[in-house]
Each structure stands twice: as C-alpha cells, then as structure tokens.
Structure 1
Amino acid sequence: MPDQVTVEVVYAEASRQVVRRVTLAAGSTVLQAVEASGIEAAVAGLVIDPAQLGIFSRKAVPGHIVEEGDRVEIYRPLTLDPKDARRRRAREG
C-alpha cells in the first residue's frame, strides 16, 4: 500500500478554473486535500462550504478518504434555483 496519494483539487468559476495537484499522506480526507491545495487563499472571497464538496461529480463528505488520482471538486452555490429556471423556460417556450 502506498504511503502517499496524489489528487487534483478543482474550483471553477464562470470565467476560470483553478486546478491544484497535491500529494498527501495515504488516508487523507477530502477536506485535508482542499486545505492542502491552498485554493481558498488563491481565490478572492472564496469561502469553502464543507457540504459542497465532491469527487468526480459525486457529492462527498469532508471526511471521505481520497484515493490516488481522485478529482476533488469544490462546488459553488447555485445562482438560480433549478425549479425557477424550469418554470421560466416553460413560460417562455
């Protein structure tokens, strides 16, 4: 069993994407990967909500153990409620 894992931590905005590759001790968590990436400090005004994290587009709890090659994603809050967007499209079309 390897003693380290390398993962990508990603945060995307409408105009740019921030990707950091980090190497952590085996057994590290999603939250530890996010903290090690330094993305929160690199993106002005970013406050990471531990409930808004995922791995490869699937929601993950902060204590989930990361594996070699995982893509840890930091999700932004929704700017428009999906139900409201659907209603608006139905009215317009």
Structure 2
Amino acid sequence: MSDMIEIEVVYGLPNKQVLLSLPVPVGCTIEEGIKLSGIIKHFPNIIISEAKVGIFGHLETLSTVLKNGDRIEIYRPMTADPKEMRKLRAAKMAEK
C-alpha cells in the first residue's frame, strides 16, 4: 500500500481560479494539504487559520484528515447576506 494519496486544492476569485493537484502523505490534514499545495503563492491574502474550508462542498475543519481523491475547497468570506440579497431582488422585481 502506498504511503501517499492524491488530492486537489482549489480557490477562486471572480477573475482568477486555481486548482492544484498533488500527492500528500497518508494522514495529512486539510491544513497541511493547503500548505503543501503552495496555493498561498497564488493568493497571499488567504489566512489559513481563519479560512472556511470544505471537501466537495461539505464544510470541514482544518484538522480533518484527507482521503485519496479529496478536493479541498477554500471559501471566500461572504460580502453580503444571501437572505438580504434575495429580499432586495424580490423587492426590485415587485417594483416592475
């Protein structure tokens, strides 16, 4: 059995997205996977200790142990409350 697994790390902004594939040691955590990926070189504004992260759309902690084939997603902070945005759109549509 191999002592390495394959993972992906992804982060995106409206004008730039990066997906990195890499091997990591078995037992590697999300935090370690992010650091090993080097994605911070592409997005130096990411603060790993404060980042919301997930695997395939499911929110996880930085200490979650990775499995072969996992895709770590680093989520951007929300700039607006989704419920408020829906209310504003609905109100705008009602005005028409």
TM-score (norm 1): 0.89
Question: Deviations for 1:11-68, whole angstroms, at most 9, x for unmatched residues?
Answer: 0111121111121110110111001111112224333354500000110111111011
Q: Is the 8 A contact 1:50 1:61 kept in 2?
A: no
Query: What are the residue-to-residue correspondences of 1:1-80 with 2, within 5 Å?
Result: 1-80=1-80
1:90 paired residue number: 90
Unaligned 5+ runs, structure 1: none
Unaligned 5+ runs, structure 2: none
TM-score (norm 2): 0.87
Paired positions, count = 93
Larger relative strand fraction: 2
**Counterpart residue identity of residue 15, structure 1:** N
Q: Among the aligned pairs, what percent are the same residue?
A: 35
Which one has the largest radius of gyration?
Answer: 2
Q: Is the 8 A contact 1:56 1:70 kept in 2?
A: yes
Measured on the aligned residues, the alpha-carbon RMSD in Å equals 1.5
Q: Kindly report structure 1 stretches of 4+ aligned residues shifted beyond 4 Å.
A: none
